[in-house]
Amino acid sequence: MTGLIAILTDKEKSKEFERGLTIQKIVKDAVPLCELRRTIGNKPVAQAIDIQLTRLVASMNLKWNLSDGQIQQIVEDLIDKFPNETVEDFILIFKKARQNEFGEIYRLDSAVIFGWVEKYLDEKYQVLESILMKEKDDIYKPVEIAPSNVDWHKKWLEEVKKINVDNSGNVIDDDYVKKYGKEDPVKVSVSAGYAYFEVRGIKIMACSQQHAEELVQRMLELGELEEDI
């Protein structure tokens, strides 16, 4: 925060800072005056706004302009009346006024400046409402979940249905044995620690009966098995 104030109290640096300033950035990142004052005190905050308003006054060729005392009083009034706005808000307000976005300027006093602030805040809160509505829409937006890759379940189930096993869970299928390089049909264990268990008429490779039942239940939930199997 003190770094920001250092920038804003330097005329040249504040010009550069002003160029990239938008309402969207202010809403997202800027610190309200009330919080800034609690952190660094009132004087640096008032000084930052004072410099920006003085810069605006100097850029105008008006018959009646603001004195230093009037500028100081207006700054104090702005801080008191708009504690939830930010230093950046006032920088952007003065920039918009300088560029005639609030209409042509014929005089400069507290009433005119407070009128600018009110117009600006209407615009700011429209932006804020738009941001909040977008965030709300994002919260309730249906989450697109990519379909899980369940092909391996189907392939596994198809392979299981093709394999013949005995009651001990040993493969006795000739084609299966030959597929894995065996010249003669022999009994082989499918996998260490695993065996085939029958669930709902299907032989499932698992490490226990309970495990087999859980696998079948999972396939039912995924729609890979019909309920009436």
The model's pLDDT over 1-13, given as tens digits with 9 standing for 90+, comes to 556 666 666 767 7
d(CA 22, CA 45): 20
pTM here is 0.57
CB 105 within 8 A of CB 43: no
Residue 48 CB partners (closer than 8 Å, separation 6+)? 5, 8, 9, 87
Element (H, E) at 81: helix 68-81
Pairing of strands 188-189, 170-171: antiparallel
Poorest-pLDDT segment among 28-32, 70-74, 89-93, 143-147 = 143-147
Confidence of residue 190 (pLDDT cuts 50, 70, 90): very low
Phi first, then psi: what are they for 10, rounded to 5°?
-110, 120
Indicate the SS3 state at residue 227.
coil
What local confidence, expressed as pLDDT, does residue 207 receive? 66
pLDDT digits (tens, 9 = 90+) for 74-132: 999 999 999 999 999 999 999 999 999 998 888 899 999 999 999 999 999 899 888 88
> Which one of 34-43, 75-84, 104-113, 161-170 scores highest in mean pLDDT?
75-84
Mean pLDDT of the chain: 76
pLDDT score of 75: 96
pLDDT, position 95 = 93
Indicate the helix (H) or strand (E) that contains 206: strand 202-206
Burial of 8 (0-12, 13-18, 19+ CB in 10 A): buried
Q: What pLDDT shows up at residue 182?
A: 44
